[in-house]
Amino acid sequence: MTEVCETNEVSFSDASVGGATSWNWTFEGGDPATSTDQNPIVTYNNIGTYNVELEVSDGTETNSVLMEDYITVNAVPVVELQQFDDVCVGWPEFELTGGTPSGGVYSGTGVENGMFDPGTAGIGTHTITYTYVENNCENSVDQDIYVDACTGIIESNEIGLNVFPNPTSGEFELQLIYNGAVSIKVYNMLGVSVYEQEENASGKFIKPMDLKGMENGIYFISIQTNDKTYGKKIKLMNN
């Protein structure tokens, strides 16, 4: 029995002896279904198990052989990979996720053992490949991840941005000094937004925050004003 994957080509070779001069192949489930070539190439597009038959002749005598269930065609797995959010070049390495079925392998610039390091990859667009193998049939899918310099995110005391306490067990205060509308966002290490809120600040602004229930690690607080974006790191350490 020979196992192949959907849409794979299979090369057949005539191994008969005695000086055959003509060949008649029959390929159940194959494309082409028949051939008179001595060594034909056949494509199998549908999963299943199929017979192969060969009839040879030397012009006087004819012999045939039927190979039952000789070809087994396995399905090529359906592989998907979710889009990645942009990340900053200074962020720590993080585990890549979003590939299905689970258990596949991630590869690409800045990728090692399933972890992506923005600093190693460098600023720019990078292609992440997720590869999955099932029954010796392989499929893969690509998604781009963009590593940003994040120079537009300013860590400064210009608006008195602060978080207290830091590290935190989950509950903390966001403090800033500003007059006007602000957009507050919190990102995890994957660059995924886990909190978003619009507020109107007036002078000294204090906002109680709660990240309880989220995984321990580094989070990034982004404060968008009408002309700039300010950032602050906070470390979450749940008991």
Same domain flag for 174 and 204: yes
Tokens of 75: 């399905």
Q: Are residues 46 and 91 in the same domain?
A: no
CATH of the domain at 190: 2.60.40.3080
Consecutive sets of 10 residues in the chain, 239 residues long: mean pLDDT of each?
A: 91 87 96 96 96 94 94 96 85 89 97 93 92 96 88 68 91 93 85 87 93 86 85 82
Residue 177 CB partners (closer than 8 Å, separation 6+):
159, 160, 201, 203, 204, 205
Same domain, 106 and 168: no
Q: What pLDDT is recorded for position 91?
A: 78
Alpha carbons 234 and 164: distance in angstroms, whole number: 9
Task: Tell me what pLDDT residue 237 has.
Answer: 87
CA atoms within 13 A on the CB side of 7: 6
Residues 6+ apart with CB under 8 A from 50: 27, 28, 29, 30, 44, 69, 70, 71, 72, 73
Q: What is the pLDDT of residue 6?
A: 94
Give the 3-state secondary structure of residue 118.
helix
Same domain assignment for residues 113 and 64: no
Tell me, yes or no, whether 220 and 159 share the same domain. Answer: yes
What's the CATH number where 70 sits? 2.60.40.10
Q: Which domain holds residue 228?
A: 153-236
- Note whether 232 and 158 are same-domain residues: yes
Q: Do 167 and 104 have their domain in common? A: no
pTM (global) more than 0.85:
no
Q: Rounded to the nearest 5 degrees, what angle is found at the Cα of 73, between the Cα atoms of 70 and 79? A: 165
* Predicted pLDDT of residue 200: 93
Position of tokens 């950032």?
Answer: 231
* Residues in the chain, overall count: 239
pLDDT at 52: 97
- CATH number of the domain to which 126 belongs: 2.60.40
What pLDDT score does 148 carry? 81
The structure tokens listed for 100 are 């299905």
pLDDT at residue 99 in the model = 96
Predicted pLDDT of residue 156: 58
Q: How many distinct structural domains can be found in the chain?
A: 3
Q: Say what the pLDDT of residue 153 is.
A: 64
